[in-house]
Structure 1
């Protein structure tokens, strides 16, 4: 399965150190070599980079390692394909717009035979269970809230949706709209909390 890196900070923070170590797991210190990606918010804007090459071999990953990334919310993903071919369109994180904001999603897990009925404007480009899950989440958020909900309301809705998706298989994810970062683990959740001295 894939690996996830998420960062949520109260001030724009440098992610280069964490990303450099994380990227090594994409083909050097681990066998996750089916693509990678990173998305980071700058205000309401978003920078999004993906590549179907292993992170340790990717010239795009090298660019990111040298780029002075400072952001409050970052999501990175290293892929080990369980569903969908190794291709650019299947690399996480995925991005969609809802309520005039970018939303970023990355998934670790395997949702067996998960192909929900998608009847809104959220459609997958690739053929992964992950992107189908993201489109379904965005669709259900839009159906559940006519206007922009509070972080607390979003958290309650996402908790319900995550429980429903976890019934389909392993479902670990990171999701951000630039204001908050949500994580869910149907397996074990590991995190590091760093504080300024």
Structure 2
């Protein structure tokens, strides 16, 4: 399966440590060799990098690992192709505009026989089930709120309802962000950790590398990291229950509700 990585913070933070381990899963410690991508929000802007080479060996991934881009919201993806050929247009994260702001999305899973009717505003460029699902999520949001982004509770409810409908077609783990919030939907496997004061050491699973966050943070920093499987082996990660849409803001989970 593909691999997901997300970060949501209360102050701009770089993702270099987490991405150092995560990128090894793209052809290094795991078999995912069909491309990778990462997108950062910087104010209203969005900086996106995608590549069809394995993340562990990609020169573009090396650039990201070495360049401390600071952001409040980041989404990364390592692809194992199941639907759609290996090409840039099928490489996550996908980026679209809605209500005058960028949205970024990445998906892990397979949606069988998924062919939703999509209008002109949101049509896939590539051939993946993932991009179709992203387009449907945004289309449903615009249908319900055509002129402006609603409140977070209303936004959450629409996303949760649509995600549940899409998940009937198969596995639908995804990360979605509008630059203010980061939404994480668990279908089979997704976990998160919140790092805040008092900070400590963290050791990567996929690479023998340790960081002491006390040396690179302040007492007010809060950082939530979401991943398909835990990135560190000496911290306690919290699994997101299947069927749950979690919302993160300022480095903390706001809503953890299975909708049952």
Q: How would you bin the TM-score normalised by the shorter chain?
A: over 0.9
SS in 1 for 2:56: coil
Which ranges in structure 2 are unaligned for 5 or more consecutive residues? 199-260
- In the alignment, the residues of structure 2 paired with residue 71 and residue 22 of structure 1 have an alpha-carbon distance, to the nearest angstrom, of 17
Cross-structure match for 2:70: 70
Q: How does 1:2-151 map to 2 (within 5 A)?
A: 2-146=2-146, 147-151=148-152
Cross-structure match for 1:157: 158
Runs of 4+ in 1 over 4 A off after TM superposition: none
Shift of 1:188: 2.8
Cross-structure match for 1:179: 180
- In the alignment, the residues of structure 2 paired with residue 161 and residue 9 of structure 1 have an alpha-carbon distance, to the nearest angstrom, of 26
Shift of 1:113: 1.4
Shift of 1:192: 1.9
Shift of 1:66: 1.1
- In the alignment, the residues of structure 2 paired with residue 188 and residue 121 of structure 1 have an alpha-carbon distance, to the nearest angstrom, of 31
Alpha-carbon displacement from aligned partner over 1:44-90 (angstroms, at most 9, x marks no partner): 11100100110011111111111112111000000001111111110
Output the aligned Cα RMSD. Answer: 0.9
SS in 1 for 2:41: strand
- In the alignment, the residues of structure 2 paired with residue 135 and residue 126 of structure 1 have an alpha-carbon distance, to the nearest angstrom, of 12
- In the alignment, the residues of structure 2 paired with residue 122 and residue 188 of structure 1 have an alpha-carbon distance, to the nearest angstrom, of 28
SS in 2 for 1:111: coil
Shift of 1:196: 3.2
Cross-structure match for 1:190: 191
Residues 13 and 70 of structure 2 are in contact (CA less than 8 Å); yes or no, is this contact kept in structure 1?
Answer: yes
SS in 2 for 1:170: coil
- In the alignment, the residues of structure 1 paired with residue 84 and residue 40 of structure 2 have an alpha-carbon distance, to the nearest angstrom, of 25
Residues 176 and 182 of structure 1 are in contact (CA less than 8 Å); yes or no, is this contact kept in structure 2?
Answer: yes
Residues 84 and 126 of structure 2 are in contact (CA less than 8 Å); yes or no, is this contact kept in structure 1?
Answer: yes
Shift of 1:3: 0.6
Point out the structure with max Rg over C-alpha: 2
- In the alignment, the residues of structure 2 paired with residue 150 and residue 40 of structure 1 have an alpha-carbon distance, to the nearest angstrom, of 23
Shift of 1:120: 3.1
Alpha-carbon displacement from aligned partner over 1:114-170 (angstroms, at most 9, x marks no partner): 111111311111100000100111111100112221122111110101100110100
Residues 116 and 136 of structure 1 are in contact (CA less than 8 Å); yes or no, is this contact kept in structure 2?
Answer: yes
- In the alignment, the residues of structure 1 paired with residue 33 and residue 194 of structure 2 have an alpha-carbon distance, to the nearest angstrom, of 27
